[in-house]
Structure 1
């Protein structure tokens, strides 16, 4: 007994099905021109303070850029918040403002 494969839908070209089309699409990941990762800490043993603050830029799937902020007590997972901007310049500006604000409040880069 032999079997022959026949196309049950003669008007559809299965050679160009959606599964095959995926291979033809350019799947480049958005790359940021500025790769900024800021890790700040504020340690004051006199008042039992040991805090961290992290800021970084993350591309989104829609061509925007998010500023991811993490903060909390050193040794914990802390909290996180993400704010999305239309372009990298706006996000980088927001990151610099946040870093400047935290440095004024006594945070210093890790290792300083």
Structure 2
């Protein structure tokens, strides 16, 4: 299991978070879990299933780069 946690501490908005996690599931597939929302509040989440780790890693890295461009940063 691999996790990446990003925060956006903009002065004009409440602090926000974005979490990306890769994990193997019981069916020998790789799950990509993404959670986002306001820090300290209830967030939203989505799960994408991939057939192998390479596809899941590429998708996770694409989401991470997109969030870094939007102003998120590692804590």
**TM-score, with normalisation over the residues of structure 2?**
0.93
Structure of higher CA gyration radius = 1
Deviation at 1:67, TM superposition (A): 0.4
> Normalized per residue, which structure has more strand?
2
Of 11, 18, 37, the match for 2:3: 37
2-structure distance, mates of 1:108, 1:48: 15
Runs of 4+ in 1 over 2 A off after TM superposition: none
> Normalized per residue, which structure has more helix?
1
**5+ residue gaps, structure 2:** none
Deviation at 1:48, TM superposition (A): 2.3
**5+ residue gaps, structure 1:** 1-34
**TM-score, with normalisation over the residues of structure 1?**
0.64
Q: Name the count of aligned residue pairs.
A: 75
Pair 1:63-2:28 in alignment: yes
